[in-house]
Amino acid sequence: MRNRIWRALQLSLLGFAALSEAQAVEVEPCAEIYEAEINDLQSGGQTIAGSSVYGVLSLQLESGCILGEKDSTGIRQLYTALPNVPDEKRAKARADLFDAIEAQLEGLPSSTCANPGDPAAACIVGRQLKSIRDVRELLEQGNPPLADPKLSNNNWTVVTGAGRIPISGVALQPLLATECAEGALTPRCRTAVDLAAKLMRSALGTFQAISAHARPTIEGNAEFLSKRDKEWNSYFNDISVQYPWELGFNGWWFQKKTPAEERRGFPRAPARKFIALHPAVGFEYAEGIDGKRTTQGAVVLEVFGYERWHWKDGKAAGRVGASLAISFTDVVGADSVGYGMMFHTPYRNMSMGAVWRDGDSGESVNFIFNLDPSSWINHYRNFDLMEFIKAPAL
């Protein structure tokens, strides 16, 4: 064990010494910015410990010299342009992007080490460079499946906390803490900082190349979610409201009929519902004691019913339904309760039907219809009132 640790240390030191020489020929965009940042911090009286160096460098993510506005490598411009490049020019644009990404690591000593977790700098560079080339090769082949582990987004990221880059197995925070233990501006530390910047830039640049390839699938998934969202929105807000007890019963039915695995994801909104003890305001064209018919305000209670439809472009289409209903109304000379059937229409959730009602002059059959007030209120909520009431143009 002791030998293995010693070997790793030797490799690490050798690797960083070699990196120092290689860096002499290539300017890292972060080098000057990092130096200025450290000088500024130190002139303000702050001592930068080795453990804080990663924190200083990570300030450059997003907006600075690592794929930000101060990044002179051109990688950012290449990947932001890639999704909009015409199909016939995409291969060339992608090749340019990968050339720029690979150039980040190409001048550095790299080695294919036997141990996949070898912490030596050359091994880290070797692993990352090989993986970048693997991705490039896959994408050049045409249309590789995104499920290929080499294209996994989780490999091509910088996990902010410890600066871990999964693809090369390096954690930048402890690495920089070790390399910068003797000072944040020592040559050894500067070399490690330059390497860290290149590793971050090349990993995140590769992620962007994969993401550009994934755009059609991402858009397809967005459509899928948007359609499901529309269906559920329609289920709750377009179709007549379900009272708590109805929602409870239909929910129980949904749980019973939908496989558990589907429920854990994004199941489709139901295409049916049961109606139970559902009251709504309505009107009854009722026969009075004198045999004359008048329209009376009523409350219609649907005792039990069923409605079904199918989903078309996120909307419920072909809605049909019926229910047994009781109509409550006050008609002189007639019972206050009538019994009948209601049929549902898709138009603003209106329902219509007929009820039988006993009265002093015998049994009468009356036409009834009911409304879904919330549906009407929602419909007219956004109307311009003045526009609505003004006289029509002649």
Site residues for other proteins, 324-353, by CB under 8 A, read 328-330, 336-337
Closest approach, Cβ 14 to other proteins, in A, equals 26
Q: Would strands 315-328 and 272-287 be described as parallel, antiparallel, or unpaired?
A: unpaired
Q: Does 74 bind other proteins (CB under 8 A)?
A: no
Reduced to 3 states, what is the DSSP secondary structure of residue 307? strand
Reduced to 3 states, what is the DSSP secondary structure of residue 293? strand
User: Nearest-CA neighbor of 279 among 254, 225, 242, 248?
Assistant: 242
**Options 42, 137, 266, 304; binder of other proteins; rule CB under 8 A:** 266
**Options 120, 129, 132, 158; binder of other proteins; rule CB under 8 A:** 158
Closest approach, Cβ 231 to other proteins, in A, equals 8
Helix (H) or strand (E) holding 211: helix 187-237
Q: What is the footprint of other proteins within residues 356-385 (CB under 8 A)?
A: 371-374, 377
Closest approach, Cβ 376 to other proteins, in A, equals 9
CB of 248 or CB of 291, closer to other proteins: 248
User: CB atoms < 10 A from the CB of 147, how many?
Assistant: 7
Residue 245 sits at the vertex; the CA angle it makes with 240 and 247, to the nearest 5 degrees, is 50
Closest approach, Cβ 216 to other proteins, in A, equals 8
Closest approach, Cβ 271 to other proteins, in A, equals 13
CB of 23 or CB of 250, closer to other proteins: 250
Quick one: CA torsion of 90, 92, 96, 101, rounded to 10 degrees? Answer: 60
Q: What is the footprint of other proteins within residues 193-212 (CB under 8 A)?
A: 204, 207-208, 211-212
The three state secondary structure string of 11-37 is HHHHHHHHHHHHHCCCCCHHHHHHHHH
DSSP letters for 237-280: HTSPP--HHHHHHHHHHHHHHS-HHHHHS-PPPPSEEEEEEEEE
Quick one: CA torsion of 124, 126, 128, 129, rounded to 10 degrees? Answer: 150
Q: Which segment (14-22, 85-93, 279-287, 309-317) binds other proteins by CB under 8 A?
A: 279-287
**Options 15, 23, 29, 76; binder of other proteins; rule CB under 8 A:** 76
Radius of gyration of the chain measured on its C-alpha atoms: 35
CB of 270 or CB of 305, closer to other proteins: 270
Q: What is the footprint of other proteins within residues 22-41 (CB under 8 A)?
A: 41
Q: Which segment (17-25, 26-34, 86-94, 239-247) binds other proteins by CB under 8 A?
A: 239-247
Contact map string, positions 132 to 151, toward other proteins, x by CB under 8 A: -------------xxx----
Task: Write down the number of H helices and E strands in the chain.
Answer: 12, 8
**Options 7, 92, 133, 215; binder of other proteins; rule CB under 8 A:** 215
Q: CB–CB of 295/257 below 8 Å?
A: no
Q: Does 123 bind other proteins (CB under 8 A)?
A: no
**Options 157, 271, 293, 308; binder of other proteins; rule CB under 8 A:** 157
Binding residues for other proteins, total number by CB under 8 A: 96
**Options 36, 91, 225, 289; binder of other proteins; rule CB under 8 A:** 225
